[in-house]
Structure 1
Amino acid sequence: MTVDRLLINLDLNLLVTLDVLLRERNVTWAAEHLGCSQPTVSTALARLRRHFGDELLHRTGSRYELTPLGAQLAARTPPAVEGVRRVFDVRAEFDPATVEREFTIITSDYAAALLGPIVARLAAERAPGVRLRLEQTTPHAVDHAADTLRTADGLILPHGFLTDMPYTDLYEDRWVCVVARDNPDVGERLTLAQLRTMGWVVLFHRPTAFAPAAQQLRMTGVEPRVEIVVDGFLQMPFLVAGSDRVALMQEGLARKVAGATGVRVLDCPFDVVPLAEAFWWHPMYSGDPAHAWLRDLLVEASRELLADREPEGGALP
């Protein structure tokens, strides 16, 4: 294997400085963020400009703006810095009681609301130096999962979206419909005829980004009349309350927020496969002891979530 001369001569400190400079767009602010002097950052900027053959930052009036190349680099440096950090975070052994590490989990607001508090509590009890970063999932993150999972520890996502990635199952939930508590046109049950005419609040509304239950609804011949598109499940009940709209939600979240948001939780009037939530990660993390600890923690938290469900029909099946 040939040796990459560029990497041999690369000063990784310049990568960190470049990342901060492109984000702050100001030498003084970058120096404060990095905890060093302004002349030190100015010298690093001069080296970066020589390396790239570009100004990177140029003054416009009283402020600095990125050059076109600077804008390209601004999108590339954060994942590069994160990748370097992950390389040097790896240890042969992992002691949760003493380690200081951040885990990044990409998840829907639904899973973050249900599972997040339990995971956070367990982590705080056993690994006080561990920090959790929960980032909202997006269609782009799912559609480009291989790249996404190179710079994150994992993705909490139901089955049906990803293949060829390692995963561990977490828990199952049931899809339900939510309607306004004061909707006079809906009784104790919904019908397919009502679902055809009601306005819908839906998630994303893209071919590769929707709740799996919505696809199953379409298979019955019902095409939702979409009125509002959102990027998170927690917004749905607020947009259903006080209206004649309907939305598909996970029962665990729907029952958790129904009382506070003014909605009712009803069974779906069509056969719908339960949501099977799983944690997916890049194969390069499979042998990492710290990552294995995180996976075990998520599985344990999922068991606790299921054990704590409300007995009277509760959040989860």
Structure 2
Amino acid sequence: MTDHLLLSRLDLNLLVSLDALLTERSVTRAAERLHLSQPALSASLARLRVHFGDQILARRGNTYELTPFAIRLTEHTTTALEAARRVFESQATWTPTQSTREFSVYGSDYGFATVGKVVAQLAAERAEGVRFRFLLHNPLVVDDAANRLRAVDGMIIPHGFLADLPYQDLWTDEWVALVAEDNATVGDTLTMEDLGRLPFVTNYASRTAFTSVSRQIQQLGIEPHVDVVVESFLSMPHFITGTDRIGLIQSAMLPTALRIGGIRAVSLPFAATPLVNALWWHPVHSQDPEHAWMRDLFAEAGRIVDEGLHAD
């Protein structure tokens, strides 16, 4: 039997029921969420059990738990439901000023506090019904980007992490170091000795998750002593103030970081490789006029960040 025939025999409303059951882990709460009667949702659960050959929800004492198979379904169900929503929200003709579309974009707080902020400002001026949902990525999301980007509109991330996907370059950035304002052992420029001597607060310190500048320090023969690992560039200054730690941050984030107080910027003792930040998306979105409008918005916002005007 072909895939098309199999799909034609399915009631796609079951996807909505499945998502609610997987999220709520309770027939009663899932029924309340969907404004259905409990018998109606129990009937949907029975059909899902027959289809998958799995209990989906299994009783454990007085509660229900997801089966191992259901846990594996959770992520796929959310992605499929989001993709279906996008299909039926699409319009043959689209006018930004009349749209209520929500664009979902993955990124780090660095991307959101720079280009994301400008994109939201531009959209508010030109299409007040459009909104953006900015989702923090993590190493698992980045590793699975080719699949994840089917269900969202894009990912803001520098070159060097993704490949074989369409992208739009946004802006180029440099790395600077942060130290405590009262750190008298460091001058206006770090030395190679400082890098080997002082502890670091760093981001994403693992084999598959790293910043390009931290990797470059290792390639120069220095293994940094990492004192603190955070997954937020915005929080980094709080772990530097009043300590002898070093932090590495992008120039576009510097005005925001310095407003926290208690820190100062110093130069690196080597020429760090610049960051080329880009918006990446899945090819399925390339011909979507709404998506093209969003990409143009990001390109304009990238030029504003490149000129340093985002911090005004």
* Fold shared per TM-score above 0.5: yes
- Aligned position for 2:11: 11
Q: 1:1-317 alignment to 2 at 5 Å?
A: 2-309=2-309
- In 2, Cα distance between the equivalents of 1:3 and 1:248? 51
Deviations for 1:222-250, whole angstroms, at most 9, x for unmatched residues? 22111222222122111111111101110
Cα deviation code 1:196-237 (max 9, x no counterpart): 111011211223321111222223222211122222212211
The separation in 2 between residues aligned to 1:37 and 1:225, in whole angstroms, is 58
Name the stretch that deviates more: 234-243 or 285-294. Answer: 234-243
Which residue type is aligned with residue 290 of structure 2? A
2: CA distance, partners of 1:40 / 1:199: 59
- What's the CA shift string for 1:226-281, capped at 9, x where partnerless? 12222221221111111111011101213312231421111111111221111011
Query: Following TM superposition, by how much is the alpha carbon of 1:130 offset from its aligned partner in structure 2, in angstroms?
Result: 2.2
Report how far residue 2 of structure 1 moved.
4.2
Give me the CA root mean square deviation. Answer: 2.1
For the 8 Å contact 2:169–2:276, the answer to whether it is kept is yes
Q: 1:205 to 1:304 in 2, by over 3 A?
A: same
CA contact (8 A) 1:255 1:265 kept: no
1:159/1:277 contact within 8 Å kept: yes
CA distance in 1, matches of 2:239, 2:192: 21
Displacement of 1:10 after TM fit?
Answer: 1.0
SS in 2 for 1:147: helix
> How many aligned positions are there?
312
Q: Residues 101-146 of structure 1, C-alpha deviation per residue, up to 9 Å, x if partnerless? A: 2211010111111222221122223223323111112122222221
Distance in 1, Cα, partners of 2:87 & 2:289: 13
TM (norm. structure 1) is 0.91
Q: 2:252·2:305 contact (CA, 8 Å) conserved in 1? A: no
Q: Aligned partners of 2:167 and 2:153: how far apart in 1?
A: 12
Relative distance call for 1:74 and 1:163 in structure 2 (3 A) is closer
CA distance in 1, matches of 2:223, 2:278: 28
* AA of the residue aligned to 1:195: L
Equivalent-residue separation in structure 1 for 2:184 and 2:172 (angstroms): 32
For residues 309 and 179 of structure 2, the distance between their equivalents in structure 1, rounded to whole angstroms, comes to: 22
Moved more, 51-60 or 14-23: 51-60
Deviation at 1:301, TM superposition (A): 1.7
Q: For the residues of structure 2 that align with 1:31 and 1:99, how far apart are their CA atoms?
A: 31
